Every structure is written in structure tokens, then in C-alpha cells.
Amino acid sequence: MRLVIQRVKRAEVLVKDTVFSKIEKGLLILLGLSKEDRFLKDKNINKIVQKVLNLRIFADKENKLNLSLLDIGGEILLVSQFTLYANCRKGRRPNFSLAMPGEEAKKMFAKIKNIFSSSYKKVYTGAFGEEMEIKLINDGPVTIILDSQDIL
């Protein structure tokens, strides 16, 4: 599992020019799933979720990154993005053979969203499998990349 976590002042997902979901201050999380992620157990997913919720990437009164999403009461916009598993080693067209297949990824994404939601109430998502337009105001900018292989 790969997560690109962006601290945002606000973000929204549009599908066919209509707002699907939006958040104010918080985290936009682009989530990529690999074929190997089908073997992740709930306890491992929960460990990743807790890591994200407790990342100290928000500024305190002294402008130091000492506060987590939990500390500031921010929101999460979780968006599935299979292209995070693009392999660009050969040629010019990315190969997505490492990404989890669509239907399986849809179920796993729902499971991950549910684990996020059971730990934190302010979780919104993009539209799985749809063409989306994502608008965001990056804050900082602060962008963190997490890979489950580095955490577990």
C-alpha cells in the first residue's frame, strides 16, 4: 500500500463537474493498492491508519511540526489511485501490472476506509473507479509518502 499524504487547507473531488466530496483543513490521501496488499491483515491496516492519524505534520503555536490530525481535529479525503503502482522502468508507457485489480481493489479500499472511519469520524472519499478532478490548496506544502513495506 502506498499513500501520498498532502496537508491541505481544503480539497474537493469532482465527478462530471459535480462536487462528490470535500474537506476543509486536513489531509488529502492518495491511496494505491498493490496485488501484495491482498494479504494485509486488519491489524496491519490499522497500524498504517494509526500512523497516518498520529503523524505530527501540523504546526503548533511555535510553527513546529508537533501536531497530528487528531490534535487539530482536521478532516481526511481518501482517494484511490492505482497509478501509484506505475512501473516506468521500461519504455515510455507506464505498466500497472503491480496494481491490485479493480474489483478486488474496490473491496480493499472500502475496508481501509472503514478502518479509517472506525478510528476517526471525519473521513470522506473520492469516487472509486471514476474519472475525478481533485482540487486542493496545499498547505506548506507538506507532502509525505508512506509505503506499507516501510511501516510493517
Which are the catalytic amino acids? 83
Strand 2-15 relative to strand 18-23: parallel, antiparallel, unpaired?
antiparallel
HSE-up of 112 (CA within 13 Å, CB side)? 31
Q: Which residues make beta-bridge pairs with 75?
A: 26
- What region, left, alpha or beta, does residue 71 occupy, with left being phi > 0 and alpha being psi -120 to 50 degrees? alpha
In this structure, what is the dihedral angle of CA atoms 58, 64, 65, 67, given to the nearest 10 degrees? Answer: -60
Amino acid type, 50? Q
Amino acid type, 82? F
User: Residue 47's CB: how many other CB atoms inside 10 A?
Assistant: 14
